[in-house]
Structures are given as structure tokens and as C-alpha cells.
Amino acid sequence: MSKFIWVCRNCGHETNGYFGQCSSCGAWGTLEKETIIKTKTKATGVKHSLFVNSEDKILTLSEIEEDSILRLNTGSEEFNRVLGGGIVPASVNLIGGQPGIGKSTLLLQLAFYFSLKNLKVLYVSAEESSTQLKMRAKRLRRTNDRSVISSDAEYATRVSYASKRKYKLRLLQIHEDHEDDENAEIEAVHHGTAHKRTSSRLRRTNDRSVLQIHEDHEDDENAEIEVCEQSQHEENILVYTENNLEKILEAIKNSEANLIIVDSIQALYNPNLDSVPGNVSQIKECCSNLTRIAKTFNVPIFIVGHINKDGDIAGPKILEHMVDTVLQFEMIKDESLRILRSIKNRFGSTDELAVFEMRENGLSDVSDPSQIFLNQRAGGIVTVIKEGRRALLVEVQSLVIYSDQHNPRRMANGIDFTRLHQILAIMEKYLSIPLGKQDVYVNVAGGLSIKEPASDLAIALSILEKSDSSANDFIALGELGLGGEIRQVSNIELRLKEAQKLGFTKAIIPTLAPELKINLIQLKIEIIEVSNIQEAATAFRSTKHSSSYQERVIERNSSSPRRTNDRSVLKQSTEKCLK
């Protein structure tokens, strides 16, 4: 007779009976019924370890040899950054995100890059058919920067640059209006100038070639262009549409692939378990087997995971503990930008962040995201946040208006709601600003979320600024204490260098220690040191209103109607109103 247990799909806790609330994580309604299948095994004197890299004896830390890990390049600097420098062999990487955000697109681009390096990739599609996968691959390949062209079989495989040319030949492509013409001419594009090569008349055949410049010679004018058969590269990408775990494991063993992609973990199932795909036990069992085969064959595996309504990866929390790296996609800025965060990374920092832009040809790297976040800036206070080893400039905007309600509204978008209440209390206490009858709305432009307290001073100054739409040329950094003091932040030099690079000339920061001031002497940015919120408010007003008071009065008077005591003028205006 089969035995049933109840498993929490949130944390994986097991219990013999059903309870409305999980006794481990406290979640409600997360217990699911599971069947325990016991298999009879012969008793032997030796028990085999489930850990593939187990040692026969105990070693001291000094006896362990340090192996130099050679990371695999992904072809994307942003992707390499969030992985800690590249893909670690035998690593299991879980990537999650909401539907349509670009998980499969990113991994398919990774497969293309591996295929161009003559590395074999096995793409296991448990949700899409092979035809659907081919359609996406065709779209990404057609609009790729390294254009795919048709060539005659007798065309030479290597084309040399002419040393007399002052421009560089970047790519050869067929004109869009003649893609279906067998006798179409190939155009050579030189820095935006189209120049027809009469010697490059190629007939379209079934064989496709890719013209590309070797990475080590991209800046060499005499570099040679390699003509690689696209059909050979496509043969390096193996597609297997199956969700049976046993068949997938057998395919991985026979494929001899250098990279495994599984899309997705919620669609796989083990036929030995009496449960549907996506169940807690199914996800745990499938991930355990994939992890074991990655360590056994020393091959990296990327696993796609869905997310639930709370934004977490669907399945038990033990799934995140079993893998080496957990990455999560987020969508910001009018659904065009994508942020890839590292939630867990055994081989690198968990604070790294990668920024991509979704285009027609897939995901492209955004090397300087601060320019995008500060685009069309009109008002607000700019601060510098730190994500891993990267400094990002973001704008904090605030709107303060009078409220006739008994409880004024407090809205925070991109910052912690409790943090906003604390900053408002500090401002009302030490700046004597009556905010009890004011609605306060705070927003971080660009859709980013700020978690570190280094942005406290920028939030307070944006509230002090209220709704002024004029752009500022300074940044604000500092953590606010309950006593009104402004505390130092980490990596102040890195933050100021990033602000200077984007053209900011002033910075309101906490009082620095003498040893830190020496490192900031070379910066061409005016540093205004403050020790408490009163000094910060005074420095803010002097910086904000640096222009003369007379100029502001003249500007205000020029935009408002002038008063006059001339009776004739008043009489004429009155007659016009009566008419």
C-alpha cells in the first residue's frame, strides 16, 4: 500500500498530515499531497556515495591542490559580469523570469556563440516544438550583426583586405531588395558607405556562409575575413524536444555536448514518480539528476525556471539550494530594458547586475546604463547606487502636495516604504517641515529598485525640492541616522568617478576621513561635505539657487501680467471683457 505525505511547495518541508499553514516557512495553502514509492534493494556491505567528487580519505586544507578554473566566454560582457567572469565548467545555472522576458532568447544566443567557436550545444526543449525553436533561431540569425549570406561552393574561403584601403571591410551582405535573386550582388559596407564589389558576384545556393573577422584581429586593417559554413555551425546545435527525464539523461550522455540547455525544469517529469510535471517531488528529482550528470561529465547546464505570482522561482526553495547559480530576469523602462540579477553564485559575487536591451535581433548589451536611466531628466536629485562592482546613477523624484484627508498618502516606488516614513520623520523633527498634512510621492526614475541606504540623502533633498522641474548638476550621497546625522557610504571614490564621467560638477556627501580625502584630490568635481541634515539642507539651497535673486524675479515678472494705474488702459480692458 502506498504511503502519502504532504510537502510544502514553498520550502519543501514534509509532514504526515495536512495543515492549512506550513509549520516550517509559515506559508498558507502550500501543502501538496505526494506518494512515496519505496524500491527494494539488495543489502550490500558497501554503500555508494551520491556525491560524484567524493574522496576516499580525509584531506587537510593544505593538501588540496588548487586547480585553475578556465571559465567559458559567453560572448556577452554583461552576461560574463553577472556570472562572475564566465561559465564555470560542471556548474548548474538556474535562470528565471516572467514569460516573454527573454530567457530562451538569451540562452539561444549563447548557443549560437558556442557553435561559432565549434563547441557542441544540446538544447533540450520540453515546452516548444523543434519548428518553433527553428523559427526563433532564424529570426535571431537573420538580423545578427555578423550577417549570414549565401555563397557559391567554389567561392574562396578566405578574403583578404586590400592594404591600400583606408576603410575597413566590416561585413558582406545581400541587398534587401534582391534577397531572392540568385544573381544578386554582394555589397561591401565600409563604415556606413556602401561600395559594390563587382568581383563578389555570388550565386545563391543551399550552402550558407558567415563572413566574420577573427576577434584577435578586429582592429587590423589587413586582417583576413574567415568564411565559415553556416551549415557546420548549425550542426553544432543539437535540439531535443522531450520532457521525459530518463530519455534526456541518456541523450546528454550520448551527445558529448559542451553546453546543456534545459527549457524548462517545470515541464520535466520522472516516470518513476507518481505525480504530474511541475510537482514539488518532480522538480526536486529532475534537478537532482541534472546536477549529478553535470558534475559527472564536467559539462555546464543552464536550466530555465518559471516564476510564481510573488516573483520567486516556482517550485520548492530547495531547488535554489541544489544549483550553483541563480539568475533572475527583470523588466524595466517601458519593457525595453532587461536586468539580469545574480541571486546566488558560488563562483562570484551575488551583487552583480547585467543590463540588456531587447531589440529585433535579440538581447544586446548596455555598457553604460546610467545614460539611459538619466535620459530626459527633468528635476529630481541624482544619486549613485552600487550594484556589485558597477556604479549606477539614478534619479529620485518627489512630489509633495497639500492633502485634505485625515491620513495623508505616502507612495514609494522603487524604495522601501518603511524607509520613506523614517526619512519623513527625520525631516519633520530636525528641519521643522510640517509634512503631517502633505501627500508625499517618491519615485525612482527608470523603474529601478534602491535597497542600499546611501540614497537617503537624495530622497530627503528631493522631498525638500518638492516639484521643481529644473535639472540639477549635482549628486547627493549619504545615509540618514535617527539623530539627523549623515553617515558615510562605501566606495565613495567609485561613485564620484562615475558621476564625474557623466558631467556632474558638484557632490553633497558626508564628512570624509582624512585618508579618504587624499584619494579624491585628483577628481574634477566640487565636493561639499556635510555632517547632518541641517547642513545638507543649507548646502542644497545654496547650490540649487546659485543664480541671482534679481534674475529669478525678472523671469517671474516677465511671465506674469503687469499691473498698471492708467485709467484709459483699464477702461479699454473692461470694455473688451464686456463685449
Q: What is the CATH number of the domain that holds 329?
A: 3.40.50.300
Tell whether 312 and 450 lie within a shared domain.
no
**pLDDT tops 50 at residue 217:** no
Do the domain assignments include residue 468? yes
The CA-based angle 465-471-472, given to 5 degrees, is: 75
Do the domain assignments include residue 566? no
pLDDT score recorded for residue 510: 94
Distance between CA atoms of residues 72 and 86, nearest Å: 5
**pLDDT tops 50 at residue 179:** no
Do the domain assignments include residue 516? yes
**pLDDT tops 60 at residue 563:** no
Q: Pick from 216, 255, 226, 221: which is nearest to 238 by CA?
A: 255
**pLDDT tops 50 at residue 66:** yes
Do the domain assignments include residue 98? yes
Tell whether 200 and 253 lie within a shared domain.
no
Distance between CA atoms of residues 424 and 435, nearest Å: 7
Note whether 289 and 248 are within 8 A (CB).
Answer: no
Band (pLDDT 50/70/90 cuts) for residue 93 is: very high
Note whether 53 and 295 are within 8 A (CB).
Answer: yes
Q: Which residues of 397-425 are buried (b: 16+ CB within 10 A; e: fewer)?
A: bbbbeeeeeeebeeebebbeeebbeebbe
* Structure-block grid coordinates of residue 535: 547642513
pLDDT score recorded for residue 345: 93
Computed over every residue of the chain, the mean pLDDT equals 76
Query: Domain ends where: 229, 250, 275?
Result: 229
**pLDDT tops 70 at residue 100:** yes
The residue among 343 and 11 whose pLDDT is bigger is 343
Tell whether 340 and 288 lie within a shared domain.
yes
**3-state DSSP helix/strand/coil % of the chain, to nearest 5:** 30, 30, 40
* Structure-block grid coordinates of residue 312: 520567486
Tell whether 342 and 390 lie within a shared domain.
no
**pLDDT tops 80 at residue 247:** yes
pLDDT score recorded for residue 68: 61
Query: Domain ends where: 167, 198, 229?
Result: 229
Tell whether 246 and 349 lie within a shared domain.
yes
The residue among 173 and 369 whose pLDDT is bigger is 369
pLDDT score recorded for residue 476: 94
How many structural domains compose the chain?
4
Q: Pick from 464, 400, 412, 411: which is nearest to 438 by CA?
A: 400
Pairing status of strand 3-8 against strand 31-36 = antiparallel
Query: Domain ends where: 173, 204, 229?
Result: 229
Q: In what order do the strands lie in the sheet with 390-402?
A: 410-413, 438-444, 390-402, 381-387, 474-476, 506-510, 526-530
pLDDT score recorded for residue 219: 52
Do the domain assignments include residue 234? no
Tell whether 354 and 380 lie within a shared domain.
no
Q: What is the mean pLDDT of residues 42-71?
A: 65
**pLDDT tops 90 at residue 242:** yes
* Cis peptide bond N-terminal to 255, omega within 30: no
Do the domain assignments include residue 141? no
Give the count of beta carbons closer than 10 Å to the beta carbon of residue 370. Answer: 21
Q: What is the mean pLDDT of residues 406-411?
A: 91
- The three-state secondary structure class of 269 is strand
**Highest mean predicted confidence (pLDDT) among 60-74, 122-136, 152-166, 506-520:** 122-136
Q: Which residue has the cell 558567415?
A: 210
Tell whether 403 and 519 lie within a shared domain.
yes
Do the domain assignments include residue 561? no
Do the domain assignments include residue 560? no
Distance between CA atoms of residues 432 and 533, nearest Å: 11
Q: What is the CATH number of the domain that holds 448?
A: 3.30.230.10
Tell whether 94 and 217 lie within a shared domain.
no
* Structure-block grid coordinates of residue 159: 578574403
Q: What is the mean pLDDT of residues 247-273?
A: 93
Q: Which of 98-107, 327-336, 386-395 comes out lowest in average pLDDT?
A: 327-336
Tell whether 521 and 421 lie within a shared domain.
yes
Q: What is the mean pLDDT of residues 263-289?
A: 88
Band (pLDDT 50/70/90 cuts) for residue 55 is: low
Which range marks the domain in which residue 418 is found? 375-552
**pLDDT tops 70 at residue 554:** no
Tell whether 357 and 384 lie within a shared domain.
no
Tell whether 316 and 270 lie within a shared domain.
yes
Tell whether 531 and 502 lie within a shared domain.
yes
**pLDDT tops 50 at residue 255:** yes
Residues 435-450 pLDDT 10s = 888 999 999 987 788 9
Residue 217 φ/ψ, nearest 5 degrees: -130, 30
